[in-house]
Amino acid sequence: MPQSGIKNRDDCKDVYANIKDKHLHKYVIYKIDAVKLKIEPVVVADKHATYAQFLDDLAQVGCCYAVYDFKIIMPDNSTRDKLIFYNWAPDDQPIKAKMLQSTTLKEIEKVTDGIHMKVQASELNEIQEKDIEEQLRKTLRI
């Protein structure tokens, strides 16, 4: 697949590390700035943010990438944090934005190592919390 020439802004990796290593934030939403030719974090949520807030933010931003620190309760009542990567391209977005999104995916993947599960979606009903949890449980073999 051709590359878009768009690069990560310097703070993309730092924001991700704060989620992955320090759990300082619940999620980050990255958006492509086609003028600056950079991927940049546009929403960095407090660690107490809810999944509903995450979905609201996705709906407002349009085409974007996101990383969500998903907490799952295990059968023994212990918890695990798993990072979910979202490639979000709503159907109502311009085709040019969706094409730019797909050709820039490899760039954002450079700074998001350690992702447990990747999700590509175009409608909010595809990424409801219960559905993501169900998919995640399948990957954990619970």
Q: The whole model's pTM is what?
A: 0.94
What pLDDT does residue 140 have? 85
What pLDDT does residue 2 have? 53
Q: What parts of the chain have a pLDDT lower than 50? A: 1
Burial of 141 (0-12, 13-18, 19+ CB in 10 A): exposed
Q: Which domains does the chain carry?
A: 7-140 (3.40.20.10)
What pLDDT does residue 34 have? 87
What pLDDT does residue 142 have? 60
Residue 12: which of 50, 52, 40 has the closest Cα?
40
What pLDDT does residue 5 have? 85
